[in-house]
């Protein structure tokens, strides 16, 4: 990390005009952004943010775990992996009526986007048919729809798209050179293949990662470079701060410096100017001040509701109060229901 007395680094790299024409970001160039003095980085991020969004508006998305736990994968951070003793009980896929009630509640509380998560390695054909029904159910309530179900086969994304799926969430999670330390049961290319299937089916891509897993700054830069170099880059980029869950291999991981988390948000904003940058897992542990810095750094979406998938999230009253104190408001939906 550079000293506080060092001169600011001037960036000579032109910013891509739009996602489809985006130039490739080298890991070095992204790392140089991370290395900027904090005020300079925040200024650049805010400038990009304001060119593309109203900086006072934040999207509210509610998560629902429609199929919890019992997952065969070995993602070291995840409370839903069957091999870790985390106390999470495995459930079957929820029925449309149950999901309708949860989605209506989320809408009534002010969410505009509803994300359904399932702890699968990869859904089977019959799972996709059932999730398509859930998507139709949620879409009929006038909410934007999102699903995260694991790896997709040919045709799956198309079926979900036909049912009204707006976004598919599938994260790269980390830089390629750190990935093997975290997950061994599927490889990086599997993830890229699923993202390509989602893109080809005309479903918007929601793809991000987790920081605070013991990676270096360069590896955080490596993750952001991978995301920014997807062609086009994702419409939606969740940046998760590791939620340390008892029983997972990462339970005692040292905390990431909160300013480093804010820097990650800022660098995502600068490298993916028109994406929704989502301040995702880890808000409950973060405090209001750090969250406010994340909004200044260009985050403009949060998970809204007192639960993520299996872990806690600030309750809706606390989020409304925080935004009120900041004079910020909820963003209108991007997709016409
Ligand atoms: N099973 C599917 C998959 O892995 O693609 C979908 C659900 S999975 C829980 C969705 C994402 O949640 C993961 O890719 C990871 O980025 C994030 N996640 C899971 N556990 C987390 C934790 N403890 N802290 C932060 N993010 C987490
Ligand atoms: C994402 O990137 N973060 C969300 C969503 N996509 C599905 C999930 C966070 C999960 C945090 C751990 C849990 O609650 O189980
Ligand atoms: Fe399974 Fe997804 Fe958790 Fe990995 S992140 S263990 S694939 S639920």
Two tokens at 5? 């007395």
Instruction: Determine if ligand 3 sits within 6 Å of the CB of residue 72.
Output: no
Could you identify the atom of ligand 3 that is nearest to the CA of residue 119? 8
Q: How far is the CA of 25 from the centre of ligand 3 (A)?
A: 28
Q: Is the dihedral of CA 122, 128, 130, 134 positive or negative?
A: positive
Query: Measuring from each residue's beta carbon to the nearest atom of ligand 2, which residues come in under 6 Å?
Result: 63, 79, 115, 117, 148, 169, 171, 208, 238, 240, 243, 280-281, 308-311
Q: Which residue, judged by its Cα, is nearest atom 5 of ligand 1? A: 150
* Bridge partners, residue 57, by sequence: 329
**Alpha carbon distance 36, 49 (integer Å):** 17
Q: How far is the CA of 85 from the centre of ligand 3 (A)?
A: 14
Instruction: Determine if ligand 1 sits within 6 Å of the CB of residue 179.
Output: no
End-to-end CA gap in the chain: 46
Per-residue pLDDT at 12: 31
Q: Which residues have a catalytic role annotated?
A: 71, 75, 78, 115, 146, 206, 278
* Among 272, 274, 298, 276, residue whose Cα is nearest residue 30: 272
**Alpha carbon distance 225, 24 (integer Å):** 8
Which ligand approaches the C-alpha of residue 80 most closely?
A: 3
CB atoms within 10 A of CB 184: 12
* Among 125, 164, 126, residue whose Cα is nearest residue 146: 164
Q: How far is the CA of 183 from the centre of ligand 3 (A)?
A: 9
Q: Which residues contact 92 (CB under 8 A, 6 or more apart)?
A: 67
CA 25 to chain centre: 20
Per-residue pLDDT at 336: 58
**Alpha carbon distance 290, 262 (integer Å):** 7
* Among 205, 207, 273, residue whose Cα is nearest residue 240: 207
Q: Which residues contact 76 (CB under 8 A, 6 or more apart)?
A: 181, 182, 183, 213, 248, 249, 250
Q: Is the dihedral of CA 13, 18, 19, 23 positive or negative?
A: negative
3-state secondary structure of 279: strand
Instruction: Determine if ligand 1 sits within 6 Å of the CB of residue 245.
Output: yes
* Bridge partners, residue 307, by sequence: 312
* Bridge partners, residue 61, by sequence: 113, 303
> Which of 71, 122, 169 is the pocket-test mutation for ligand 3 (most atoms within 8 Å of CB)?
71
Burial (CB count within 10 angstroms: exposed 0-12, middle 13-18, buried 19+), residue 24: exposed
Per-residue pLDDT at 22: 56
Packing angle of the helix pair 38-52, 27-35 (nearest 10 deg):
110
Q: Which residue, judged by its Cα, is nearest atom 8 of ligand 3? A: 119
**Alpha carbon distance 162, 332 (integer Å):** 24
Q: Find out whether the peptide bond into 232 is cis, omega within 30 degrees of 0.
A: yes
Q: What is the pLDDT along the chain (337 residues), one digit of tens a residue?
A: 332 223 333 333 344 455 555 568 999 999 999 999 999 999 999 999 999 999 999 999 999 999 999 999 999 999 999 999 999 999 999 999 999 999 999 999 999 999 999 999 999 999 999 999 999 999 999 999 999 999 999 999 999 999 999 999 999 999 999 999 999 999 999 999 999 999 999 999 999 999 999 999 999 999 999 999 999 999 999 999 999 999 999 999 999 999 999 999 999 999 999 999 999 999 999 999 999 999 999 999 999 999 999 999 999 999 999 999 999 998 877 765 5
Backbone dihedral angles phi then psi of residue 225, each to the nearest 5 degrees: -60, -45
DSSP 3-state helix, strand, coil percentages of the chain (rounded to 5)?
40, 15, 45
Per-residue pLDDT at 334: 72
Instruction: Determine if ligand 1 sits within 6 Å of the CB of residue 256.
Output: no
CA distances from 169 to 138, 246, 251 (A): 16, 25, 24
328: left (phi over 0), alpha (psi -120 to 50) or beta: beta
């Amino acid at each position: 990390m550079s000293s506080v007395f060092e001169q600011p680094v001037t960036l000579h790299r032109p910013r891509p005009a739009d996602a489809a024409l985006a130039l490739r970001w080298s890991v070095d160039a992204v790392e140089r952004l991370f290395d900027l003095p904090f005020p300079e980085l925040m200024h650049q991020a805010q400038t990009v943010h304001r060119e593309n969004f109203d900086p006072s508006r934040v999207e509210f998305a509610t998560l629902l775990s429609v199929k919890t736990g019992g997952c065969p994968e070995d993602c070291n951070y995840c409370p839903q992996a069957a091999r870790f003793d985390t106390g999470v009980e495995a459930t079957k896929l929820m029925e449309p009526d149950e999901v309708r009630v949860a989605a209506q509640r989320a809408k009534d509380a002010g969410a505009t986007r509803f994300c359904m998560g399932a702890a699968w390695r990869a859904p089977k054909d019959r799972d996709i048919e059932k999730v398509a029904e859930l998507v139709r159910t949620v879409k009929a309530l006038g909410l934007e729809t999102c699903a995260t179900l694991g790896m997709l086969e040919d045709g799956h994304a198309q079926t979900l798209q036909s049912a009204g799926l707006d976004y598919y969430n599938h994260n790269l999670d980390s830089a390629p050179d750190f990935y093997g330390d975290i997950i061994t049961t599927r490889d990086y290319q599997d993830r890229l293949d699923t993202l390509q299937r989602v893109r080809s089916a005309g479903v918007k891509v929601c793809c991000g990662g987790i920081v605070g897993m013991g990676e270096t700054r360069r590896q955080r830069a490596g993750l952001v470079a991978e995301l920014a170099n997807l062609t086009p880059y994702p419409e939606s980029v969740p940046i998760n701060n590791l939620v340390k869950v008892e029983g997972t291999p990462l339970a005692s991981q040292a905390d990431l410096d909160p300013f480093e988390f804010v820097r990650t948000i800022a660098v995502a904003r600068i490298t993916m100017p028109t994406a929704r940058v989502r301040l995702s897992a880890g808000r409950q542990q973060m405090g209001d001040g750090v969250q406010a810095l994340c909004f200044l750094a260009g985050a403009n979406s949060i998970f809204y509701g007192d639960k993520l998938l299996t872990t806690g999230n600030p309750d809706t009253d606390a989020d409304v109060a925080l935004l009120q104190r900041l004079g910020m408001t909820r963003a209108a939906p991007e997709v016409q229901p």
